[in-house]
Amino acid sequence: MEAVRFTTDDGVRLEGELRLPDGPPGATAVLCHPHPKHGGSKDHPILWALRNELAGTRGLAVLGFNFRGVMGSSGSYGGGRDEVRDVRAAIAWVRGQAPDRPTVVCGWSFGASVALREALDDDLVAALALIRMPLRPGDLTMPPIPVDGDLRWFRRPVLVLSGEHDVYSPPDDVRAFAGAFPSATVRIVEGTDHYLWRREREAAAVVGEFVDGSLAQL
């Protein structure tokens, strides 16, 4: 794991960690963490599991990073709006590790909301994995979810993954949300909730299979 730093287009300096595969990377990935105001950072177990799966098993160069205002990243919380710039900067930076190779973006909860809004405007995102997308955000303050009319134009592969007992992302809501995309895969992990405790490797393997299948179509 290599500690890295990169800068957004509005001058915010972000910290991250790069995990490389054993051989030349076949693609790159960016991981977006949960809500900064609820303890979210790049160091959550599900994000570690994703780094291990995507770099160690699937052969991607994987960048996990902290949004602005989190731990060693400069700036301050941007309400889920300024963080879109953070994702864009992370994509630009990690693509330098494997120029001309596709990039996958994975986000969990708040990170999924931010990742989606960046992907809608960024053709460099080849595939998108939304883990526990907060469809009923409750106390998780964030911008509105993009409307169906925006989602139907996103024709790249999408995975929407949630837990069976997720109160922020209930399975019925997940299926309805995924149906707005032209092509989206839904996976519900049984017997767990929003945090996927002790199911991190299982969820990461689902994402890894999705990534392999998506890249094979390119």
Q: How high is the pLDDT of residue 192?
A: 83
Within a domain: 166: no
Give the CATH number, domain containing residue 125. 3.40.50.1820
Contact (Cβ atoms closer than 8 angstroms) between residue 60 and residue 137: no
Within a domain: 173: no
Q: What is the pTM of this model?
A: 0.95
Q: Which residue has the tokens 């990534």?
A: 211
Within a domain: 159: no
Query: In which domain, by residue range, is 210 found?
Result: 2-149+197-216
Within a domain: 65: yes
Q: Which residue has the tokens 């689902």?
A: 206
Domain count, the chain: 1
Q: How many CB atoms lie within 10 A of CB 47?
A: 25
Within a domain: 157: no
Within a domain: 205: yes
Low-confidence ranges of the chain (pLDDT < 50): none
Within a domain: 77: yes
